[in-house]
Amino acid sequence: MNVLDVLDKDLVKVPLLSSDKKGIIVELVDTLVKAKGYSAAQGEQILDAVLARESLGSTGIGGGIAIPHAKIDVIEEVTMVLGISRESIDFDSPDGEMSRIFFLVLAPSKQASAHVELLASIARSCTSKIFRRLLEQARDSEEVIHLFME
């Protein structure tokens, strides 16, 4: 599994409007909940799982990227929400750089293999500084999709 397998226009939000780490995570989860029609209770469960993972250590990986993620059986298949912020957000990245590109990755517990492969695919996709810059400058979700499909 790779990024293209899960990239969905309805699960891309540009721009994100929140100005802090928790707000960004909430906004990404809300995008998923609205797109997939999850209930408020399911949304809460997803948010709790992502915040619990975040409490183990930040998922800001440097280079302006953060990949909050969690295993959660509320969802049925590996899912990714991609958000771009115009504002730089402090995500406690190891390089001290602020983040503007956010991938929320969720997977049911019985799809560990696909979950791991997707996370690795995101990490590989974002190694190019030029690609990261282009993503940061994307005007809307269609442009984000186009960048990955090029």
Partner 1 sequence: MAVPFKHIVVYIDGSESSMTAIMYAIKLAKEHDSSLTAVYVINTKALSELVKAGIFVAVERDEYQKDLILDADRYLHHAERLAEQKDLAIETVKLEGTVHVVVKELLKEKQADLLVLGGITDIRSRREELASETDRMMRTAPCPVLIVRDDDDIWFEFEA
Residues that bind partner 1 (CB under 8 A): 1-5, 53, 56-57, 59, 61-62, 67, 69, 94, 109-117, 119-121, 123-125, 127, 148-150
Helix segments in 37-140, DSSP class H: 40-56, 112-125, 129-137
Closest separation in Å from C-beta 43 to partner 1? 23
In whole angstroms, how close is the CB of 113 to partner 1 at the nearest point? 5
Nearest CB to partner 1, comparing residues 4 and 17: 4
Residue 109: C-alpha distances to residues 57, 72, 76, 106, 117 (Å): 20, 6, 10, 9, 14
**Residue closest to 89 by CA, chosen among 134, 11, 28:** 28
Query: Which residue lies nearer to partner 1 by CB, 40 or 96?
Result: 96
Q: With respect to partner 1, which residue has the nearer C-beta, 23 or 62?
A: 62
